[in-house]
């Protein structure tokens, strides 16, 4: 199943300080190593149907540029850069619980999704599966690369998830990595970095 997403913008720019720190660590690992992948599970409470869950996933990707970012070589001098897609598609697997506890099964699936390294240049930094029980979505299994999210970002996603599922509006002013990278390169950001 494919989830289409559209963000407010696309673009490219330098890495943020945090992205650079993780990128340097990934270079110590063999290609395709999943060490910096993060499994995650979110429940689907209430009675949202599959279209509502898929729409929530589309809104999540459209809202957060880090979830639609690739990391590509810029030049030998500049190193790596982040490239944000303005639109695209995420393939979502549907799995029937078939007698298993949906959240426990989602945890197992998330671990499987996170067990394979990401192709940072060509793959979205998120993988996803929806666990169904009797035809109803009950949990969503994710794998993220740590280049895209950290523990704080997971808290933000978990906090937004119920509102995304219900279709409620969310605040528009979400911090984005391209903005953060530009701020870090400003005179004020550079001074803060020096401190």
- Ordered by start, the domain boundaries in the chain are 2-166
CA atoms of 16 and 10, how far apart (whole Å): 16
Helix (H, G, I), strand (E, B) or coil at 54: helix
CA atoms of 139 and 104, how far apart (whole Å): 9
What is the layout of strands, in order, in the sheet containing 87-96?
2-6, 87-96, 126-133, 136-145, 37-43
Phi-psi domain of 4 (left: phi exceeds 0; alpha: psi -120 through 50; beta: other): beta
CA atoms of 81 and 41, how far apart (whole Å): 29
Nearest by Cα to 39 from 113, 136, 119: 113
Q: Are 147 and 19 in contact (CB under 8 A)?
A: yes
CA atoms of 126 and 63, how far apart (whole Å): 14
2-166 maps to which CATH number?
A: 3.30.559.10
Phi-psi domain of 11 (left: phi exceeds 0; alpha: psi -120 through 50; beta: other): left
* pLDDT tens series, the chain, 195 aa: 999 999 999 999 999 999 999 999 999 999 889 999 999 999 999 899 999 999 999 999 999 999 999 999 987 666 899 999 999 999 999 999 988 899 999 999 999 999 999 999 999 999 999 999 999 999 999 999 999 999 999 999 999 999 999 999 998 878 899 999 999 988 887 777 777
């Amino acid at each position: 199943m494919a989830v289409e997403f559209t963000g407010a913008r696309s673009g490219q720019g330098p890495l943020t300080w945090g992205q650079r720190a993780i990128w340097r660590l990934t270079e110590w690992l063999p290609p395709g190593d999943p060490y910096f992948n993060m499994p995650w599970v979110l429940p689907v409470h209430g009675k949202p149907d599959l279209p509502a869950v898929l729409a929530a996933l589309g809104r999540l990707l459209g809202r957060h540029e880090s979830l639609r970012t690739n990391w590509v070589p810029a030049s030998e001098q500049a190193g790596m850069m982040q490239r944000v897609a303005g639109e695209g598609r995420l393939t979502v697997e549907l799995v029937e619980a078939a007698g298993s506890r949906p959240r426990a099964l989602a945890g197992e699936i998330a671990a499987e999704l996170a067990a394979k390294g990401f192709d940072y240049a060509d793959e979205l930094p998120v993988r996803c599966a929806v666990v169904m029980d009797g035809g109803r979505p009950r949990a969503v299994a994710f794998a993220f690369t740590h280049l895209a999210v950290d523990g704080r970002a997971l808290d933000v996603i978990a906090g937004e998830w119920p509102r995304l599922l219900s279709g409620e509006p969310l605040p528009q002013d979400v911090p984005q990595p391209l903005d953060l990278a530009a701020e870090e390169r400003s005179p004020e950001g550079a001074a803060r970095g020096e401190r």
